[in-house]
């Protein structure tokens, strides 16, 4: 782990270099040993991230460019550059980009690695078995594994899951 502060990205440069119709995560914090996750996400004009719920983590959303709205609990909050929105864990929310699109950074505590734990202790001599297939919960856009057993939209990049 590198403990020296350093510049990891220049967000304006990343946004300028992206194609006009690029959507999803343009940058992700990927440093070894980190305790945070962060993403630069861009939605093209009119794009949406469907209603979803993050059950484990609070998320801080910082608007970098464009405009849009977040709908949570029936209330619509306008998103404009330099706006900061707190999305508490267990809150249901949806995002929509305005006519110029929307670029934002999300920051949250690093998600713990996924583990499969038995609900009861296995019987003596049990050697395990195959893990359940969860490919239907892997986002086709960014590869994130959804915690939702029947996801429709990815909570990270907004991509629609297959079959929906």
Residue 141 in contact with residue 154, Cβ under 8 Å? yes
Q: How far is CA 141 from CA 108, 116, 137, 150, 160, in A?
A: 20, 24, 12, 16, 8
- What pLDDT was estimated at residue 105? 95
Q: What pLDDT, on the 0 to 100 scale, is given for residue 142?
A: 75
pTM over 0.85: no
pLDDT at 2: 62
Paired strand residues for 40: 27, 105
Q: Quick one: pLDDT at residue 136? A: 73
pLDDT at 110: 85
pLDDT value, residue 119:
58
Q: By the 8 A CB rule, do 110 and 59 touch?
A: no
Tokens of 98: 């305005």
pLDDT at residue 149, as a whole number: 74
| Inter-CA distances, 155 with 28, 50, 117, Å | 14, 8, 24
| pLDDT < 70 stretches in the chain | 1-2, 112-134, 163-164
* Model pLDDT, residue 70: 96
DSSP three-state, residue 34 = coil
| Structural domains of the chain in order of their starting residue, each with its CATH number | 11-112 (2.60.120.10)
Q: In this predicted structure, what is the pLDDT of residue 33?
A: 82
pLDDT score, position 21: 79
């Amino acid at each position: 782990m590198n403990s020296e502060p350093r510049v990891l990205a220049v967000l304006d440069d990343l946004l300028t270099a992206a194609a006009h119709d690029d959507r999803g995560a343009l940058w992700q914090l990927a440093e070894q040993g980190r305790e945070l996750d962060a993403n630069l996400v861009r939605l093209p004009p009119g794009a949406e991230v469907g209603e979803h719920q993050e059950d484990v983590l609070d998320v801080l959303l910082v608007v970098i460019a464009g405009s849009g709205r977040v709908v949570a609990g029936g209330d619509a909050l306008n998103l404009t550059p330099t706006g900061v929105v707190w999305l508490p864990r267990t809150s249901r929310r949806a995002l929509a980009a305005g006519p110029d699109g929307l670029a934002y950074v999300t920051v949250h505590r690093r998600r713990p690695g996924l583990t499969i734990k038995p609900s009861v202790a296995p019987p003596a001599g049990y050697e395990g078995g195959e893990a359940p297939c969860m490919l239907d919960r892997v986002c086709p856009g960014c590869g994130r594994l959804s915690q939702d057993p029947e996801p429709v939209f990815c909570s990270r990049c907004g991509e629609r899951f297959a079959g929906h």
